[in-house]
Structure 1
Amino acid sequence: MQSLECAPSRGRFRAPGRADSSRRSRRGRSDRIPRTTYRPARYSTSARRRVPSRRPCPPLHAALRTIPSNRLLRSRTGPIHRSPRPVAVGIIIVARVAGRIAAGLPPRGSVIRMMSKQADPFQTLTMLRETLAAAGLSPRKLYGQHFMIDRNLLEKLVESAELTRNDVVLEVGAGTGSLTGHLAQRAGQVIAVEIDQRLAPIAADKLAGYDNVQLIVGDALARKSQIAPDVLTALRDAQASIGGSIKLVANLPYDIATSLVIDLLIGEPQLARLCFTVQDEVARRFLGKPDTDDYGPVSILTNVLTMGRRIAKAPPQAFWPEPKVDSALVRLDVTAKPDAAPTLTHAERSEFASLVRHFFQYRRKTIGGIARKSPWAVRLPDALVDLKIDLKARPETVSPQQWLALFQCVAERTAD
């Protein structure tokens, strides 16, 4: 086989021992496409390298046929080569849609679905920075503002709530309305609460296209153990008009997450599901098991009143500004425990929480010692004996079911 040499001045190949074949090489080049071309040796480690022949492109609209079919693409590190598909797929789709519109025909189904969708409410990091910079604002540590900028986690949080048009959604910490827009597209009514008066106008502007969003500017908590009255009123009115269940879906501020969730579980109106983002340490407390460091009053209340699980873990990079700790997405289903939660009224849930909190104030003492000095000292010791709970046990070793049975036993003895 004869070797090939590169002619740098002309950019073509010549076979040694043959005359110049430039006339033959140019003949017919405009009429046909060579099935094999060769690159100069300076672009490759081998002197000879095959390039597949071009395939014919899909038919294009007449307005785009002026694009050269032999367009050349240059790679940053590789050689010049012929593009097997000279036009991007997106341009082809636009061309075909333009052709159908020019012919008086409507676009096909996939394009109709794309055109009918609402604007994407998700706000990227760049959009957030530009929005706040235009208003002369920045995130405030006072309110624990960490905006979620991970689309996958945000959509996972929304999907975990399993929203319908009959649901009323409570969002605490609306921010600039990124999550609020996703909720408004799926729920019947959204009650969004934002404490920062600087961000409220931005959120209102972003959500102007949704008629099922009510923005409340203020604190969601009247005090540590009570939801703000205007928030409760808005939830009751929305539920009365729609008739569905109430759900919490929120990227909660870290400093009020625990108090807010417990108040919503204990108080009225009763929520059906809570899906929220909290610190990973707080999430472990919500889902804590007996005889562990994470187990406490919060673990007992959520275990007795709900069925909880972790949805996903959120790294600091999923938020802006980045927090110093990992976060987690948690889901609590209140209606998943028909044997426990419905049997407790609002007053009973409050009393049960008080009983558990009292015992865990003396975590290192024994159950029997705490019971004898508690407000329920007349009834608790006998109830512990009846339930066969070890009087020398510590509060963190008693299971949530035992705590519930202890409370019900004390309540029965009080009624008698």
Structure 2
Amino acid sequence: MYYTYYNGTDEYSNGDIEDELLNIVKNNKEYDKTINETDSFAVFYHLSKNREFITEVMDISKNDSVLEIGSGCGEITGALAREAKEVTCIDLSKRRSLINAYKNRDNDNIKIYVGNYQDIKLDNRFDVITLIGVFEYSLYYMQDNDPFESMLISCMEKLNENGRLYIAIENRLGAKYFSGCKEDHVGKEFVGIEGYPGAIKARTFSCYER
């Protein structure tokens, strides 16, 4: 864990559930058993191995270095570490990064930096960079006229020749939003469908955008 760029405040949080998650990963490794014993979706969401399947479509070899931007509680960090030579994680939250560190403590090829991506200085380049559920927060990460373009350029500059950038983002036109579910990042109904009117901190896209 590296705290050089941490400002002392967790600028992103899912609330008190993160304390429960930290307690779980500190005291046991039988996450499947824990998931089966609770009806908490948050516990399932953060500790289930189901989300690791996303790495199966990624071209990653044992010689690759990976930069995981927005590593969160380590939902896919372990899968990346098993595939790659080394994984460098960046996340805004100290508490979420601690969950990641405890969850993946058996892997010796993981580094975790706590802080804003834009502030963290990394001299090396990477073979693979992942933006999983993170690109929508470029409005926060990148203080520029076009933060989404700036984020992409920044990532491309950190890639080795023939490096790969993987982006996974929610669809703002998802069926659940048409059914009246609140937009996950804004917490209001139909905001994404309407094109995010007003001031926002995050936005998603449809598959035809950008």
Deviation, structure 1 residue 261: 2.1
User: Tell me, which stretches of 5 or more residues in structure 1 are unaligned?
Assistant: 1-127, 137-145, 223-227, 240-245, 285-312, 331-416
Confirm or deny that 1:249 pairs with 2:140. no
TM normalised by structure 1 equals 0.29
SS in 2 for 1:165: coil
Deviation, structure 1 residue 155: 4.0
* Per-residue Cα deviation, 1:56-97 (whole angstroms, up to 9, x for no partner): xxxxxxxxxxxxxxxxxxxxxxxxxxxxxxxxxxxxxxxxxx
Q: Aligned match of 2:169 in 278, 297, 305? A: 278
Distance 2:43 2:205 in 1: 14
Tell me: CA distance 1:206–1:329, structure 2 relative to 1, closer, same or farther (3 Å). farther
Distance 1:129 1:314 in 2: 29
Q: Aligned match of 1:214 in 111, 133, 149? A: 111
Tell me: CA distance 1:261–1:221, structure 2 relative to 1, closer, same or farther (3 Å). same
Tell me: CA distance 1:216–1:260, structure 2 relative to 1, closer, same or farther (3 Å). same
Contact 2:72/2:97 (<8 A) preserved: yes
Distance 1:328 1:156 in 2: 22
Deviation, structure 1 residue 322: 3.8
Tell me: CA distance 1:155–1:178, structure 2 relative to 1, closer, same or farther (3 Å). closer
Deviation, structure 1 residue 256: 1.3
Tell me: CA distance 1:185–1:134, structure 2 relative to 1, closer, same or farther (3 Å). closer
Confirm or deny that 1:149 pairs with 2:45. yes
The aligned amino acid for 2:154 is D
Aligned residue runs from structure 1 range 133-144, under 5 A: 133=20
For this pair of structures, how many residues does the alignment match? 143
Deviation, structure 1 residue 214: 0.8
Distance 1:148 1:329 in 2: 27
Greater RCO (CA < 8 Å, at least 6 residues apart): 2
SS in 1 for 2:94: coil
Confirm or deny that 1:162 pairs with 2:59. yes
Considering fraction of residues, name the structure with more helix. 1
Contact 2:133/2:170 (<8 A) preserved: no
Distance 1:148 1:209 in 2: 21
Confirm or deny that 1:186 pairs with 2:186. no
Distance 1:183 1:328 in 2: 25
Confirm or deny that 1:132 pairs with 2:13. no
Tell me: CA distance 1:175–1:134, structure 2 relative to 1, closer, same or farther (3 Å). closer
Deviation, structure 1 residue 194: 1.1
Contact 1:165/1:188 (<8 A) preserved: yes
Distance 2:101 2:116 in 1: 17
The aligned amino acid for 2:20 is A
Counting aligned pairs with the same residue, the percent is 22
* Per-residue Cα deviation, 1:216-275 (whole angstroms, up to 9, x for no partner): 1111113xxxxx32xx22x44xx6xxxxxx11123243221723223212x244461111
Contact 1:174/1:180 (<8 A) preserved: yes
Distance 2:90 2:114 in 1: 6
Distance 2:79 2:206 in 1: 17
The aligned amino acid for 1:204 is A
Tell me: CA distance 1:249–1:329, structure 2 relative to 1, closer, same or farther (3 Å). farther
Equivalence for 2:96:
199
Contact 1:157/1:275 (<8 A) preserved: no
Q: Aligned match of 1:260 in 136, 143, 151? A: 151
The aligned amino acid for 1:149 is Y
Contact 1:160/1:275 (<8 A) preserved: no
Distance 1:260 1:269 in 2: 13
Aligned residue runs from structure 1 range 330-349, under 5 A: none
* Per-residue Cα deviation, 1:100-133 (whole angstroms, up to 9, x for no partner): xxxxxxxxxxxxxxxxxxxxxxxxxxxx986533
Distance 1:197 1:215 in 2: 10
Aligned residue runs from structure 1 range 31-110, under 5 A: none
